[in-house]
A and B are shown apart, each in its own frame.
Chain A
Amino acid sequence: MDLPIYYTRAEYIETDTGNKVSRRATISGPQNIILGGKTIIASGAIIRGDLRRTGPGHAVVISLGRYCLIGEGCVMRPPYKTYRGNFNYYPMKIGDHVHIGANSIVEAATIGNHVEIGKNCIIGKFTIIKDCAKIADNTVIPPNTVVPALALFAGSPGRFIEDLPESTPEMVEAQTKQYYTRFQPLPAER
């Protein structure tokens, strides 16, 4: 059986819906960020909810689903472009059961459900990652890339490597749920 992953209770804030957010993470513009519940934001992660579309009113910049993990040192930044002469940021939407490994930089437009992104990856602007895809460690996905469902991408630039097994949804779901359960305060503090 897999061992627990301990954290010091003082470091993490736990929300009513079970999100665990490190005090050492930088959450800019929290009012523009949605966390689905049971999502973990690890130490040193940077989430740029402040980079919002210009204009009045409230805007969701980054939304994350349930059972997600933003690994240590990750940078989540909404994509931007100049369209018809206007510079603007565009929202980033991430589904349920999405794990992002340590030190990855993500500027995707959408990431589906059950997606695994490895460590030290760069996910370019406006990338679309469909359900159950997997990005191997150290992959560079150039801007505007589309990663189809159940595909493994690796390399620089990231390319299709192989189809993932049909049982990927169940596997990833079990893994992300298990990870959340394993992620617990050090027993000494209990």
Chain B
Amino acid sequence: MAPKIEYYCPCLSESPHPPPPNLPSSSYSFHPLHNLFFCEECDAVRCNRCVLVEVSGYYCPNCLFEVPSASVRAEKNRCARNCFLCPNCRNTLTVVPSDPPENVDSRTSPIVSTTLGEPPFFLYCNHCRWDSAEVGITFEKPTGLAAQLQKFEDSAPESLEFERLKEHFEPFLRASSSSSTLPSASSHHVHTNPITAAASSALARDIPGVGKYNPLSRSRVGRDKAAHRQEYPDYKSRVEIGSAAALSGEADVEFLRHLETVSEVAALEQRWTNSWVSPLPASDLKPLRIPLQSKKSKRCPSCRHILIKPEQKAQSVRFKIKLVAANYLPAIAVTLPHAQAAIEMLKRTSKSASAAAQAEEQQAAGALIAGHSYSFHLAFTNPLYDPIQIRLAKALAPVQTAEGDAAAEAAERARRSTFQIQLPSAAFPVGAFAEAWEYDDEDEDMFLDDDGMEIVEARGKKGKDGRGKTRSVGIVEKRANVTIVSGEVLIPKEARGDVRFNMLVSYTYRSDDPEPSEEAGVGTPSRSHGTNKAPEMKNFSFYTVVDLGPIMYREEPKLTADL
């Protein structure tokens, strides 16, 4: 596995410092740079776990029709055109007539225009060959199939029950929504939509001891109480739940008794995207109308500013607003030069070997072996139009609160068996991003060539560890908007696990504040040149986790024996 680096979003923790990287749970706090957003208002990184998501439009993932929100509700969040999923394998179904065209070899799927053919029509899966005639679903016309299927769905007992429940609560919902329009309109992130309010007060009334869910201030409690006093009649269900369960239960037992193969039972995966209870026998599964997908806007969780706003068109990949972290923070790439050199050697020598064997060889060549030290390279790419100064620091491990000699001894032992990281201590510059660099990719001189390694020896500060090694910690290479620095990792003989550590990256940049940027979408404000003002230097810091890979041992046969 290649070494990698991820960036920290502090939203999951109370402190601004990242969790120790050896904790498995820490992985939830780190993200690849291109998955992160940046809020200019808060001057902070945001991730997909903390942003507020709003639906900005619905579309069918198969016919790509953009569904207006009004019909989304009526059509129960599924496509109302001719788009269906195979209940067996989830492939998209095709509408086919009863007379398959002649002269088509059996291997090809019956792809026929629906204007041709004889009724009845049915739905056919060209992946697993399921067809809807198997479950007795055929159509007289090849159009409007979804409406016919929805009629089916809507007559399911669960669906009718749900409709009845909605009807029952309708007057109450209307009453409570009119009383709470003001707060919910001004800030819809607070969980006080009328449905929640109605549900919570109904629960509080019917079940003794259940407190009312109350996200708002005390002033609202009084108003809720007032609403609570309002009486509404008891709900009478359509189906007596006890008898309904007994009915289906006995049938299921009967079915299971005569089971011959496991595949006769519909798998969980085949059943759970259904809106209502679906049949247990796989042979009874009905085609599914395709669930709609949505385009999403994303907001900063603390200041509500929009970070992502897609264009209206469903299949457009452009955004009206797109504040991604990659336009603000330097991109960092980690490499292990010894591994790359080894790969290079392998590529030139063993050309005939299979790809799998090559990958294995490369893995072995790039291994980090206990008892050795290695240098690693960090390449910083500056996305800003101004040069930046970067300073690196190893994030300190959380202070141990344990006391006493035993604890100290354990800590000492732990220290002896963990790897040591050396990072360049001085700040280093990274050149400004220039649009022109993007087009220089044809220019082979700009590319890291074989001389790269020699630059290390010539310019890098030699490590003064007294062991006469020519490793270096410092700048390796600087070109365009990229600076490569090298660090060193020392792995003791007793070390185990992965070489993974947190690194604090601080950089200073010229700020163009406070001019507000209203021309959203046309580049990001931080990239604009504000040369009319005196430059103001600002500082930004972020944590990362660097993963150089697992520590290996020299004695490989012994290792397998131990296992």
Contacts and interface: CB of A to CB of B under 8 A. Distances in A.
A144 B92 contact: yes
Interface stretch (A19-27, A28-36, A51-59, A162-170): A162-170
B441 A177 contact: yes
A178 B441 contact: yes
Interface string A117-149: 000000011100011100000001011111011
Nearest to A119: B355
A165 B35 contact: yes
A142 B317 contact: no
A125 B111 CA distance: 10
B381 to A, nearest CB: 10
B45 interface: no
Nearest to A85: B101
B5 interface: no
Interface string A64-85: 0000000000000000011111
Contacts of B326: 167, 170
B91 A142 contact: yes
Contacts of B113: 83-84
A48 interface: no
Contact of B444 (A131, A159, A184): A184
Contacts of A82: 101, 103-104
Interface in B239-253: none
Interface residues of A, number: 48
B343 A4 contact: no
B462 to A, nearest CB: 22
Given A146-B63, A149-B315, A157-B127, A3 B344 contact: yes
Contacts, number: 107
A1 B379 contact: yes
Interface string A86-111: 01000000000000001000000000
A164 to B, nearest CB: 9
Contacts of B64: 130, 146, 148
Contact of A165 (B34, B316, B340, B379): B34
Interface in A169-190: 169-171, 177-178, 180-182, 184, 186-187
Contact of A1 (B63, B111, B333): B333
A154 B465 CA distance: 50
A150 interface: yes
A123 to B, nearest CB: 13
Interface in B499-537: none
A125 B107 CA distance: 12
Contacts of B372: none
Most B CB contacts (10 A, CB to CB) among A4, A163, A167, A187 go to A167
A61 interface: no
A146 B62 contact: yes
Contacts of A84: 113, 116
Nearest to A158: B91
B126 interface: yes
B335 A171 contact: no
Contacts of B127: 140, 142, 157
Contacts of B355: 102
Contacts of A1: 333, 335, 377, 379, 448, 452, 482, 484
Contacts of B59: 148
B308 A166 contact: yes
B403 interface: no
Interface string B419-461: 0000000000000000000000110100110101000000000
B94 interface: yes
A143 B442 contact: no
Given A82-B104, A144-B126, A145-B92, A150 B317 contact: yes
A160 B61 contact: yes
Nearest to B446: A181
Contacts of B63: 146
B363 to A, nearest CB: 15
A178 B126 CA distance: 38
A154 to B, nearest CB: 12
Contact of B316 (A126, A149, A180): A149
Contact of B340 (A3, A126, A131, A143): A3
Contacts of B104: 82
B89 interface: yes
22 contacts: A1-B377, A1-B448, A1-B482, A1-B484, A84-B113, A84-B116, A85-B103, A124-B126, A130-B64, A142-B92, A144-B126, A145-B91, A146-B62, A148-B64, A149-B316, A157-B90, A157-B91, A165-B34, A165-B35, A166-B319, A167-B322, A187-B450
* Top 5 A-B residue pairs of the complex, sorted by shortest distance between their CB atoms: A142-B127, A157-B91, A1-B448, A157-B127, A167-B34
